[in-house]
Amino acid sequence: MERLQKVIAEAGIASRRKAEDLITSGKVKVNGEIVTELGTKVSRKDRIEVNNKPIEKQQKEYYLLNKPRGVVTTTKDEHHRKTVVDLIPTNTRIYPVGRLDYDTTGALLLTNDGEFANILMHPNDKVEKVYMAKLNGIIKGEQINQLKDGVEIDGQTVQAARVKLKKVNDKNNTCMVQITIHEGKNHQVKKMFESVGFQVEKLKREKVAFFDLKDLQSGEYRKLTPKEVAKVYALEQK
């Protein structure tokens, strides 16, 4: 659900401020009824009219990117570094759904659909994020259990839904661990491993919700199918 004034502004009819004036002066109808309350929430299924004319909803776009290293997850970088949005040629103002660090690679969704982004970013048991981490040491069963039982980062307890040791390299004293989490706190995976004594040397997100990197090389992207978009809407917790 999105705020009515935002939807009107995004349709290109008026600025956000002007959209608010249109609402308070009774020029806006939702499903045939005049709505004057600012902040009324509407969904993409609602029929919105301004001055008795239905608004043209902004064309929604949805992408899955295999983010390479050395790219910032933002729409504009003050240090003029390359951003994830620069990798996708479109005239629409898309933005990333959540964040991957500058040196993290892997699955990242981008869209101009705020409702879609909210569903994926809101803590939801059905939205898993699966990461592969290379650690500067070899993790023990006891530390894996600590991650699953809950560790404290930034004063909050977070749990890994699953942790699997995938590969051990005795010679280099490193290992590869797959970790699945539900939240998306800042630097969460790195901080979780730090809390049990490891530095993450490399981090890749293999999957977010049901989107994996099948057929996408680093730096490549694809559009989501309407079916995939509908499947994300079906994840919404009532």
**Can you give the binding site for ligand URA, defined by CB under 6 A?**
100-101, 104, 187-190, 203
Pick the closer one to ligand URA by CB: 100 or 117.
100
Min CB(103)–ligand URA separation in Å:
8
Pick the closer one to ligand URA by CB: 21 or 201.
201
- Residues 6 or more apart whose CB falls under 8 angstroms from that of 131 comprise 106, 178, 179, 180, 181, 189, 203, 204, 205, 206
At residue 2, the 3 state secondary structure works out as: strand
Rounded Cα gap, residues 116 and 162, in angstroms: 26
Min CB(203)–ligand URA separation in Å:
6
Min CB(86)–ligand URA separation in Å:
18
Residue 101 is a catalytic residue: yes
Provide the sign of the torsion angle of the four alpha carbons 67, 69, 74, 80, taken in this order.
negative
Count the neighbouring beta carbons within 10 Å of the beta carbon of residue 32: 7
Pick the closer one to ligand URA by CB: 35 or 177.
177
Q: Which residues are catalytic?
A: 101
